[in-house]
C-alpha cells in the first residue's frame, strides 16, 4: 500500500483534528500547531507529496465544525476508531501518534478528552500512548 495517498492524509488529519476538537475549544495556537505537525509528518512520510500550509488551514477550517459535532456525539469514539482502523496498514503510525500527543499537550496538560482520543488511537494501533524519544 502506498503510504502517502490523499486518503491517508485525510485520515491522518482527521485523527489530529479529533484531538483538538475533543475538548470543545479550538484556539489559533492549536490550528497553527496542526499545520506545523502536518508539515513535519510530511517530512517523515513523503516530503514530495503533502499539502501546502494554506491548503491545510483551509482543510482544518472546513472540517473542524463537523469533527467537533461528531466528537461531542455518541459517535465520537466510533469516528476515532474507524479513522484509526483505516490506517491499519500505514507504516508511520508512531509518527502520527506522536503528532497527536503533541497537539494534546499544547496547553501543558495531557488529560481529559484529548488523552482519550490518543489512548483509543494507540490501542487500535497496538502502540504505547507515550511519546517516542525520536
- Its pTM stands at 0.91
pLDDT computed for residue 48 by the predictor: 76
Rounded average pLDDT per 10-residue block, the chain, 134 residues: 76 96 90 95 80 92 96 93 95 95 83 89 92 62
pLDDT computed for residue 1 by the predictor: 40
pLDDT computed for residue 43 by the predictor: 85
How far apart are the C-alpha atoms of 65 and 91, rounded to whole Å?
A: 29
What sign does the CA torsion over 42, 127, 98, 74 have? positive
- Per the structure, the count of domains in the chain is 1
Does 133 map to a domain? no
Parent domain of 120: 6-125
Amino acid at each position: 500500500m502506498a503510504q502517502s495517498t490523499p486518503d491517508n492524509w485525510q485520515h491522518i488529519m482527521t485523527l489530529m483534528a479529533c484531538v483538538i476538537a475533543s475538548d470543545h475549544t479550538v484556539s489559533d495556537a492549536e490550528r497553527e500547531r496542526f499545520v506545523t505537525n502536518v508539515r513535519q509528518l510530511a517530512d517523515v512520510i513523503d516530503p514530495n507529496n503533502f499539502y501546502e500550509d494554506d491548503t491545510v488551514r483551509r482543510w482544518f477550517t472546513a472540517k473542524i465544525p463537523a469533527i467537533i459535532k461528531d466528537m461531542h456525539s455518541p459517535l465520537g469514539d466510533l469516528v476515532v476508531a474507524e479513522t484509526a482502523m483505516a490506517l491499519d496498514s500505514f507504516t508511520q503510525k508512531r509518527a502520527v501518534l506522536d503528532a497527536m500527543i503533541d497537539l494534546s499537550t499544547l496547553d501543558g496538560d495531557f488529560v481529559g478528552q484529548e488523552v482519550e482520543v490518543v489512548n483509543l488511537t494507540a490501542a487500535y494501533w497496538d502502540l504505547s500512548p507515550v511519546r517516542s524519544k525520536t
